[in-house]
Amino acid sequence: MRPDTPDDNQIEQARTMTLEAYADTIVPGEKRWPGDRAIAGAAPGGGAVAAGSIELLRWPATGMTEGLDGLADLVNGHAEEYAAELGLELDASVPPFVALPFEHRTALVQRLTAPGHPEKEFWVLLALFSNMAFDSAAHLHTTEAIESGHPGLTAMGFARPDPDGRWRFPASSYRRPLARLHPDTIASGSLG
């Protein structure tokens, strides 16, 4: 094993920023600090990144971890091609995908996930896990996620569990007939 050199760290950071920018395109959020480059700040509140998309993707249980570096490099390559095609000037101090303005990140992700793109399944998977961090906090126990104010579950209004960590809804029905039954309904509840 060779110790990490500063270059390795920079490469690692650049890849993380890239994956954050991708996740932020799927579920956008507010910038974490004024100079935040990975998060575009396209929507108020926490987005996929604040919800834990990188923690989820870096967890080997997803099966995504080994391929992440390759995906980060690949999407940066696509960003360079995209920028060249549109004549966009990219800030070289950040990875190319991060350098794209939000609307262009969005347009590029649309291309990559569209039917017919040869790498579509990878980009859809990356989108799926980015979204999963937000809508279900799949890297955390759901009870703990709610307790700690997880941005996705909180924004969605996911109900709090009972003290034993189980969900129960004692009131669950309007408890009155709300439509006529189909005239062919039989005693089993099916159509005859």
Partner 1 sequence: MTLNGKATEQTDVLVIGSGFGGAIAAYHLAAGGARVVVLERGPWLEGKDFDHDYLLGSSYTRVFDFVAGKGMSVLGGNCVGGGSVVYFAALPRAPRFVFERRGSIGRRMWPAGIDRDALDPWYDRVAEAIPARPQTWDDVSYPGGLWAAACDNAGHTANPVPVGVDNDLCVNCNWMAAGCHFDAKRSLLFSYLPAAVAHGATIRPLHEVQYLSRTDDGGYRVHYNVIDGEDYRVHAGSGTIDAKVVVVAAGAGATPVILQRSEPHLGAMPHAVGRYFSGNGERLNTAVMNEDRVREVLGLDRGDGRAYEAFQIGKGPTVACWDYLDGARPEYTRFSLEQLYFPPGLGTILAQVPGAADPTWFGVEKKKMLERWRSWLIIFQMIEDDNEGVFGPPPPTGNSVRISQQMLGHGTLSYDPTPNTLRGWELADAACKEILEKDGLAEVAPWTNDPVGAYTVHPLASCRIGDDPGTSALDDRHELRGHPGIFVTDGSAVPCSLTVNPAMTISALAERAMPGIVDAVRRRGVEVSYGAPAPDGSISGRRGTEKLVPTLVRASGHAR
* Residues binding partner 1 (CB under 8 A): 25-28, 42-43, 47, 59-64, 106, 109-110, 113-115, 120-121, 124-125, 127-128, 131-132, 134-143, 152, 155-159, 161, 165-183, 185, 187-192
Nearer to partner 1, 11 or 74 (CB): 74
Least distance to partner 1, CB of residue 91, Å = 22
DSSP for 79-135, please give it.
HHHHHHHHTPPPPTTS-HHHHS-HHHHHHHHHHHTSTT-TTHHHHHHHHHHHHHHHH
Least distance to partner 1, CB of residue 15, Å = 20
Least distance to partner 1, CB of residue 66, Å = 11
Residue 93 vs residues 3, 90, 132, 177, 192: alpha-carbon distances, Å: 25, 9, 30, 64, 70
Least distance to partner 1, CB of residue 21, Å = 13
Nearer to partner 1, 93 or 190 (CB): 190
Nearer to partner 1, 11 or 125 (CB): 125
Residue 99 vs residues 15, 17, 76, 91, 143: alpha-carbon distances, Å: 13, 10, 10, 6, 37
